[in-house]
Amino acid sequence: MIASLRGKLLSKKPDNLIVDVQGVGYSVQVPLTLISSLPAEQSEIFLYIHTHVREDALQLYGFQAEEEKRIFTTLIGISGIGPKTALNLLSTIPPEKFYAAINDEDVDVLCRVPGLGKKTAHRLILELKEKLPSFREKKNTVYDDTLSALVNLGYKKNLAQDALEKASAGTPGMNDIESLLREALKYLTKEAK
* CATH 2.40.50.140 domain locations along the chain: 4-63
- Report residue 192's pLDDT band, with 50, 70 and 90 as the boundaries: low
Question: Where does 136-192 sit in CATH, by number?
Answer: 1.10.8
* CATH 1.10.8 domain locations along the chain: 136-192
The structural architecture, per CATH, of the domain 4-63 is: Beta Barrel (2.40)
Beta-bridge partners for 6:
46
Q: SS3 for 11? A: strand
Dist CA 63 CA 84 (whole Å):
14
Phi/psi region, residue 36 (left: phi>0; alpha: psi -120 to 50; beta: rest), is alpha
How many Cβ atoms sit within 10 Å of the Cβ of residue 132? 17
Single out the residue of 134, 159, 132 nearest to residue 147, CA to CA.
159
CATH 1.10.150.20 fits 67-133, yes or no: yes
Reported as a single tens digit per residue, the pLDDT across 139-191 is 567 778 888 888 888 888 888 888 887 877 665 555 677 888 888 888 888 76
* CATH 1.10.150.20 domain locations along the chain: 67-133
Reported as a single tens digit per residue, the pLDDT across 15-74 is 789 999 999 999 999 998 888 888 888 999 999 999 998 888 899 999 988 888 988 998
Amino acid 120 reads: T
